[in-house]
């Protein structure tokens, strides 16, 4: 299983023309004219990422609201990289939101980097995720490198452990209730009578 995107999205000539004539700032990313292109980028990157978020490696949903085209180097800081294929990767909306506009470069750059040396987090196109982060039980993130550690901080990946714990408590509670209901439903007349007698004794 590949841990990084080997081939980025390749814009066709027609797509390049649409970009050139409709793009002047990173805010243009939201223009409706790019909607069809975004669908193509999503469809192209999904199998290349094994349908996993590039930061938390959780399964991506198929609804439009369950997958984001993430700009690895924030487009608000480097407008020129808004349509840079190597700057695009799919992430879950939660990771995208947590990462936000946080800086992920340790120096100013002019051209899009050709390696991830100056990138402080795991770069979906350049880095092998498994060398930076180890995931236990799908929700505990262990940093293997400084890059891994910074990725966990920037995307707040520790949030998943908290969510997982809450889910476990909920399931445990539900199981306990259903065990009690089952007990009552399956009890015979004598057992019920005994339980009632026991209960009455305790009340007295
Ligand atoms: Zn994620």
Same domain, 143 and 71: yes
Can you say whether residue 178 is alpha, beta or left, with left for phi > 0 and alpha for psi between -120 and 50 degrees? alpha
Phi and psi for 12 in degrees, rounded to 5?
-80, 170
* Max Cα–Cα distance, the chain, nearest Å: 86
Same domain, 94 and 171: no
Same domain, 109 and 134: yes
Same domain, 166 and 139: no
Phi and psi for 81 in degrees, rounded to 5?
-95, 10
- Dist. CA 125–CA 110, nearest whole Å: 19
User: Number of structural domains, the chain?
Assistant: 2
Domain enclosing residue 98, as ranges: 13-157
- Dist. CA 95–CA 156, nearest whole Å: 8
Same domain, 137 and 173: no
Same domain, 101 and 150: yes
Say whether pTM exceeds 0.85: no
Q: At which residue do the structure tokens 């051209």 appear?
A: 111
Same domain, 152 and 167: no
Same domain, 147 and 167: no
Is the residue at 53 inside a domain? yes
60 Cα to the center of ligand 1, angstroms: 8
98 Cα to the center of ligand 1, angstroms: 9
Tens of pLDDT along the chain (204 residues) come to 568 999 999 999 999 999 999 999 999 999 999 999 999 999 999 999 999 999 999 999 998 889 999 999 999 999 999 999 999 999 999 999 999 999 999 999 999 999 999 999 999 999 999 999 999 988 899 999 999 999 999 999 998 877 767 777 777 777 776 776 677 677 777 777 777 788 788 776
What local confidence, expressed as pLDDT, does residue 145 receive? 96
How is the chain split among helix, strand and coil, in percent rounded to 5? 50, 10, 40
Residues lining ligand 1 (ion), CB within 5 A?
53, 55-56, 92, 95
Is the residue at 107 inside a domain? yes
- Dist. CA 57–CA 92, nearest whole Å: 9
Is the residue at 31 inside a domain? yes
């Amino acid at each position: 299983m590949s841990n990084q995107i080997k081939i980025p999205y390749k814009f066709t000539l027609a797509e390049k023309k649409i970009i050139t004539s409709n793009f002047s700032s990173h805010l243009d990313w939201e223009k409706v004219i790019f909607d069809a292109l975004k669908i193509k980028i999503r469809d192209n990157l999904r199998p290349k990422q094994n349908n996993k978020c590039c930061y938390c490696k959780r399964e991506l949903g198929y609804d439009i609201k369950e997958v984001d085209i993430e700009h690895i180097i924030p487009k608000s800081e480097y407008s020129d990289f808004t349509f840079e294929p190597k700057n695009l990767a799919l992430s879950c909306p939660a990771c995208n939101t947590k990462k936000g506009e946080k800086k992920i470069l340790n120096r100013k750059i002019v051209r899009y980097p050709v390696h991830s040396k100056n990138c402080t987090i795991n770069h979906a196109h350049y880095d092998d995720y498994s060398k930076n982060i180890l995931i236990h039980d799908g929700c505990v993130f262990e940093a293997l490198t400084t890059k891994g550690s910074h990725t966990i901080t920037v995307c707040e990946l520790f949030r998943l452990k908290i969510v997982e714990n809450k889910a476990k408590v909920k399931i445990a509670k539900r199981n306990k209730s259903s065990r009690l209901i089952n007990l009552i439903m399956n009890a015979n007349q004598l057992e019920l009578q005994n339980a009632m007698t026991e209960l009455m004794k305790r009340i007295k």
